[in-house]
């Protein structure tokens, strides 16, 4: 099973804040190894995807 199927890598700080306001917690935050961009890692779920799609 691919990691992308289980996790959502969020590279947008406004989207991350929106997800947190809607009750989701990220697993960790880190910097992408090659780009140096910060991301927040969320457990993927239907509820999370619904909030992302509605944004």
Residuewise pLDDT in 10s, the chain (55 residues): 565 689 999 999 999 999 999 999 999 999 999 999 999 999 999 999 999 999 8
**What is d(CA 2, CA 24) in angstroms, rounded to the nearest whole number?**
22
Provide the pLDDT for residue 3: 58
Contact 15, 38 (CB under 8 A): no
Please name which of 38, 40, 16 lies closest in space to residue 28, comparing C-alpha atoms: 40
Provide the pLDDT for residue 32: 96
Supply φ then ψ for residue 14, to 5 degrees: -70, -40
Provide the pLDDT for residue 4: 62
Does some domain include residue 45? no
Please name which of 16, 4, 9, 5 lies closest in space to residue 33, comparing C-alpha atoms: 9
Provide the pLDDT for residue 10: 97
Domain count within the chain: 1
Does some domain include residue 20? yes
Does some domain include residue 7? yes
Does some domain include residue 37? no
Provide the pLDDT for residue 55: 85
Residue 8: domain span: 1-32
């Amino acid at each position: 099973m691919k990691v992308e199927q289980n996790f959502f890598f969020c590279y947008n700080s406004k989207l991350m804040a929106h997800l947190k306001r809607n009750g989701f917690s990220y697993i960790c935050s880190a910097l992408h190894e090659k780009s140096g961009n910060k991301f927040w890692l969320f457990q993927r779920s239907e509820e999370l995807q619904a909030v992302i799609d509605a944004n």
